[in-house]
Amino acid sequence: MPIELTMPRLSDTMEAGTVVRWNVKEGDAVKSGAVVADIETDKATMEMPCFDDGRIAVILVESGKQVKVGTPIAVVALEGEDLASVKANARHAGAAVAGVSGAVAAPAVVPVAAVQSTVVASVQTETSHGMEEFGATTARMRVSPVARRMAEDAGIDVSKVVGTGPAGRVIKRDVELALAQAQSNRASSTVAPGASATIVTGSAMRVSTNAAPTSFAPLALTLRGRDVALSNMRQTIARRLVESKTTIPHYQVTMKFSMDALLAMRKSFNEKLAASGIKLSVNDFLVRACALAMAEHPYFNASFAGDSIRIHEQVNIGVAISLPQERGGGLVVGVITDADHKSLRQLSSDARTLAEKARTKGLSMQEMSDATFTISNLGMFGVEHFTAIINPPNSAILACGAAIEQPVVRKGVLCVGTEMQVTLSLDHRVIDGAMAAEYLRTLKEFIEEPETLVV
């Protein structure tokens, strides 16, 4: 009996997924455990394995398509089964599910020209002036019968509506959205009785009254551009950041650290470790310092739990990792567990492994879960200072700028030194200002006396 591959639930919050890339094609033989597709979830792009031996009979969901969890996306024919027969049956039974009912429709985008033409037509109807009808000839296109009938009844030029159905087909929901947008624009551009309408092409549509023919008031502004659909990850980032900023009382505390001693130690260590292929980064030292400071200040390893504060037993540091555009861009947070119990060498290895995997295969849910504190470092890009948004359920995130050579005063003497500015964003429900100052003071001691990080 053929095996149906469905969109898997790869995270606890995942409701839909996008097939980023198929690694197989129809007719290919597959073994159990083989990675057949890359799936973009609400948090990352992850590999999807096949758990049976067989041949890919049919691919039901093309690359770039988003479908709900549980939707059939491919069918595997087992040994001895007729490939053509399995493919025909699967196409007949599954195409509608995968292409229509299973799809998570992206918001339909109606070109401004279409909305404007509908508004202008409305204005012409309401005025006494017999202006020439504004519109375009409907081109040959894929339109469902229901959508075509609705568009005709509503007076909408269906050729101006962007279809979100299979193969760009205009379907019912596309016409409904176009009608809603047209009605909204019509309401905001109603012309008083006796007024004359003037169309200004290229920039705006204006209305002038008979009493003051030279007085114009802008009704709408047409801006040219293009829409880029949000990936699952971008949607999740947007939702979580809004949730964080609107539900967590953020405040920030900033301090400067002298980096001369740490940079000298790092240079010495890297020279000695070069033969082993190990290269410590400034971020590795920061992770180690933050973890040790958290062990001394447990409220920085805590979460707000409604009527209590949960102080965690493990010190897990989340490290923000930027993804390349070919993987959708955005950020993921890789988690280094038990960071206070690991050496600089182990922390460096863990961080490098997480970053490489995030930018190639994608991190697993386990590798992105259970962070209790987050570090975001833009220093490598030359950014001197910034603030970061707390990653729930953390109570703090550290934003690290670049280590900059600048004039400084050391023991009353003006000289050149290297300093780095860091900013803590904090949840005031868990950590107050005095606690933040104490944590930064401890962190400053670890950074400026780096030998304490290796004993």
Q: Which are the catalytic amino acids?
A: 428
CA dihedral 339, 343, 345, 346 (to 10 degrees): -40
Strands of 35-40's sheet in order across: 45-49, 35-40, 16-22, 66-68
Please tell me the distance from the alpha carbon of residue 426 to that of residue 386, in angstroms, as a whole number. Answer: 14
Provide the sign of the torsion angle of the four alpha carbons 330, 335, 340, 346, taken in this order: negative
What Cα–Cα distance (Å) separates residue 104 from each residue in 44, 67, 166, 232? 18, 5, 12, 11
What is the 3-class SS of 103-121, one letter each residue?
ECCCCCCCCHHHHHHHHHH
DSSP conformation class of 157: -
Which of 338, 330, 322 lies closest to 372 in space, CA to CA? 338
Q: How far apart are CA 131 and CA 139, in angstroms?
A: 24
List, in order, residues 6 or more apart from 150 with CB less than 8 Å away.
156, 172, 175, 176, 179
How far is residue 74's CA from residue 140's CA, in Å, rounded to a whole number?
31
Identify the CA nearest to 237 among candidates 388, 421, 449.
388
Closest CA to 317 of 365, 374, 368: 374
Radius of gyration of the chain (CA): 29
Residues 421 and 405: their CA atoms lie apart, in Å, by 12
